[in-house]
């Protein structure tokens, strides 16, 4: 097994464990709690949770409680989202972060819609072929592991900007729960314990070894886990704003560790980092309005393109049939072909957003779909594309909603942990086409539009989305982790609700599918297809492949009298309502 594949296998250990504890049957699988979902989580929490006033759904129970605490204090959904984001950096270091980046999609009850892009950027000293071994011409594993793998982090800038513009509280107020969790510690639960154990070989190569493996092993479930250095960093941010991270002692610690380990992020990189406000992509599907994420994420365009194609077919065949699965796969195939070749950071490449999201274009593409034959994905031309991440959804009493996906890319990012800073760095550089035409960590084959350039944002698949009902009120707040599987999963959760009339709980539990054009195969979760449906799809020409859990979503849905929250049934987390 190559080192890149080995690294990916290690990253996916927690997901694989979670998934191996799930048994799906029809749209109402029974979840075997197994040994994974212990501590703060449990089967009970995989069931929908009701809140009359507000809701937070995330991959960490403690982080969801942090958000709910802020809602109860009178904070709005943005205040609570930022509180949840900082708390995730403490309680869910697998993906929660201040050393990574993300995208936040906001819809205020007064009609204002906004998106903030706090994706990492390539450091100024980055270069196009920095991950290609000059001797062999092959890709090295440096875009995934170690100091060179990191883009300049955006999370602190993005969360602070979002709070300043749409929140009602101060950073110090919303960060108080995160600081408390880092300073006083929290009880190690079995999910974090197992995740740390599964990643020990990688993480022990770096400075986090002493904190995460005191005495050589992860702290046992039930022990109090304190992160003093992280608490100090969070206190500096709470007191000084982004300057507490991008300047001063935290910046010094980050740059010193980069230098020590052969990384290239400098003070100048940190000083220049800016989050960008974007106009969310607004689209419609059978009278519902969707707001989702524009570039530097591919998530919104690719979802919109897919749903526009599907809409042209009138009512879709029933969930679980060969006819439906085939249409879904063929629609995803077409939108991923565009994604992988044409999308990149809009500050560097011209992105054909209007065209790719237009109904007319979708109609054209729909016309190329044969209802009983799979189209083969053509060989990648322009030179193709790209997965740990965490999504959280928040809704408040006034109807404001926030959909946020944030990531370090791989689980615990590059593995590099900043001494004195107390946090992990991302390995987001792997989301670039490090060698256009060669697959990245997620098997995505991407082109020139996503090649490495200093200061450029690497293309993302994150798709934090908000769906409005036919009366213009926020109905669904959903997003996922899982690299390219984010796009296909978010699309399916939404279709399950608005096309197939499922409850949010069923929509989240329903077995999922994934097609990303290349490799030309249809990934299917256990229970997604009956043997007869599988046979039909094979006869249509699809190559079917069994997959463990496809992606990790957290969603909220408006119901009569309040909100329902559902955390990912395939993994750990919690929805907390009040």
The number of beta carbons lying within 10 Å of the beta carbon of residue 268 is 12
Binding of ligand DON at residue 117 (CB under 6 A)?
no
Binding of ligand DON at residue 14 (CB under 6 A)?
no
Binding of ligand DON at residue 387 (CB under 6 A)?
yes
- Contact stretch for ligand DON (CB under 6 A) within 162-170, 222-230, 353-361, 457-465: 457-465
Closer by beta carbon to ligand DON, 325 or else 460: 460
Binding of ligand DON at residue 105 (CB under 6 A)?
no
Q: Mapping DSSP to helix (H, G, I), strand (E, B) and coil, where does residue 201 land?
A: helix
| C-alpha–C-alpha distance, residues 167 and 176, integer Å | 15
| C-alpha–C-alpha distance, residues 445 and 452, integer Å | 14
The pair phi, psi for residue 109, each rounded to 5°, is -60, -20
Compute the least distance from the CB of residue 304 to ligand DON, in Å.
16
CA distances from 244 to 138, 248, 409 (A): 39, 7, 24
Q: Mapping DSSP to helix (H, G, I), strand (E, B) and coil, where does residue 495 land?
A: helix
Name which of 166, 155, 13, 162 is nearest 87 in CA terms. Answer: 155
| C-alpha–C-alpha distance, residues 13 and 143, integer Å | 20
The pair phi, psi for residue 185, each rounded to 5°, is 85, 170
Task: Output the six-digit token pair for 291.
Answer: 């707001």
Closer by beta carbon to ligand DON, 266 or else 426: 426
Compute the least distance from the CB of residue 262 to ligand DON, in Å.
22
By CB under 6 A, the residues from 484 to 503 that bind ligand DON are 486
Please identify which residue in 290, 461, 490, 513 interacts with ligand DON, judged by CB under 6 A.
461
| C-alpha–C-alpha distance, residues 56 and 396, integer Å | 9
Closer by beta carbon to ligand DON, 257 or else 428: 428
| C-alpha–C-alpha distance, residues 536 and 58, integer Å | 37
Binding of ligand DON at residue 407 (CB under 6 A)?
yes
Compute the least distance from the CB of residue 367 to ligand DON, in Å.
30
DSSP string, 390-447: EEEEEE-TTS-EEEEEEE-SSTTTTS-EETTTTEEPP-GGGGS-SSTTS--TTS----
Q: Where are the beta strands (DSSP E) in 428-540?
A: 465-468, 474-481, 513-514, 522-525
Quick check: is 233 catalytic?
Answer: no
Compute the least distance from the CB of residue 431 to ligand DON, in Å.
5
Closer by beta carbon to ligand DON, 400 or else 426: 426
Binding of ligand DON at residue 7 (CB under 6 A)?
no
Binding of ligand DON at residue 481 (CB under 6 A)?
yes
Kindly name the residue from 233, 302, 377, 389 that is annotated as catalytic: 389
Give the number of residues in contact with ligand DON, rule: CB under 6 A: 14
Binding of ligand DON at residue 431 (CB under 6 A)?
yes
Binding of ligand DON at residue 450 (CB under 6 A)?
no
Binding of ligand DON at residue 483 (CB under 6 A)?
yes
Catalytic residues: 389
* Residues at the contact surface with ligand DON, assessed by CB under 6 A: 387-389, 407, 409, 428, 431, 460-462, 481-483, 486
């Amino acid at each position: 097994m190559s080192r890149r594949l080995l690294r990916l296998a290690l990253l996916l250990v927690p997901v694989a464990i979670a998934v191996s504890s799930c048994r799906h049957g029809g749209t109402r699988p029974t979840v075997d709690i197994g040994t994974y979902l212990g501590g703060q989580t449990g089967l009970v929490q995989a069931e929908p949770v009701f809140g009359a006033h507000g809701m937070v759904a995330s991959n960490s129970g403690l982080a969801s409680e942090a958000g709910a605490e802020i809602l109860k204090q009178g904070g709005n959904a943005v205040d609570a989202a930022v509180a949840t984001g900082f708390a995730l950096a403490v309680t869910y270091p697998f993906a929660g972060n201040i050393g990574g980046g993300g995208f936040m999609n906001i819809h205020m009850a007064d009609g204002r819609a906004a998106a903030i892009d706090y994706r990492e950027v390539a450091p100024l000293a980055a270069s196009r072929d920095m991950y290609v071994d000059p001797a062999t011409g092959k890709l090295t594993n440096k875009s995934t592991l170690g100091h060179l793998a990191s883009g300049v982090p955006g999370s602190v800038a993005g969360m602070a900007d979002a709070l300043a513009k749409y929140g009602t509280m101060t950073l110090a107020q919303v960060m108080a729960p995160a600081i408390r969790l880092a300073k006083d510690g929290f009880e190690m639960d079995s999910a974090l314990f197992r995740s740390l154990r599964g990643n020990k070989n990688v993480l022990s190569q770096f400075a986090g070894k002493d904190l995460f493996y005191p005495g050589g092993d992860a702290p046992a479930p039930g022990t109090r886990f304190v992160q003093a250095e992280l608490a100090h960093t969070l206190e500096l941010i709470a007191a000084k704003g982004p300057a507490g991270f991008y300047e001063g002692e935290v910046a010094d610690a980050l740059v010193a560790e980069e230098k020590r380990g052969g990384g290239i992020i400098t003070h100048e990189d940190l000083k220049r980092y800016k989050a960008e406000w974007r106009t969310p992509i607004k689209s419609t599907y059978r009278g519902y309005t969707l707001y989702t994420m524009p570039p530097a994420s591919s998530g919104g365009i690719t979802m919109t393109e897919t749903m526009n194609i599907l809409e042209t077919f009138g009512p879709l065949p029933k969930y679980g049939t060969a006819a439906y699965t085939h249409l879904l796969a063929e629609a995803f195939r077409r939108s991923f072909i565009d994604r992988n070749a044409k999308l990149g950071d809009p500050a560097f490449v011209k992105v054909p957003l209007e065209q790719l999201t237009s109904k007319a274009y979708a109609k054209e593409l729909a016309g190329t779909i044969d209802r009983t034959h799979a189209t083969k994905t053509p060989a990648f031309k322009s030179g193709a594309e790209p997965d740990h991440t965490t999504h959280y959804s928040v809704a408040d009493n006034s109807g404001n909603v926030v959909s946020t996906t944030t990531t370090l890319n791989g689980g615990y990012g590059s593995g590099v942990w900043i001494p004195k800073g107390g946090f992990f760095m991302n390995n987001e550089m792997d989301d670039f086409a490090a060698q256009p035409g060669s697959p990245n960590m997620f098997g995505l084959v991407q082109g020139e539009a996503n090649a490495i350039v200093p200061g450029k944002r690497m293309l993302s698949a994150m798709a934090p989305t908000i769906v409005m009902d036919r009366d213009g009120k926020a109905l669904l707040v959903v997003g996922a982790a899982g690299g390219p599987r984010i796009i296909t999963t978010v699309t399916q959760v939404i279709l399950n609700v608005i096309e197939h009339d499922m409850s949010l709980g069923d929509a989240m539990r329903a077995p999922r599918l994934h097609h990303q054009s290349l490799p030309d195969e249809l990934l299917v979760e256990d229970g997604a297809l009956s043997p007869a449906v599988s046979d039909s799809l094979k006869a249509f020409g699809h190559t079917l492949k069994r997959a463990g859990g496809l992606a990790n979503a957290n969603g909220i849905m408006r119901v009569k009298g309040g909100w329902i929250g559902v955390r990912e049934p395939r993994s750990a987390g919690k929805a907390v309502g009040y």
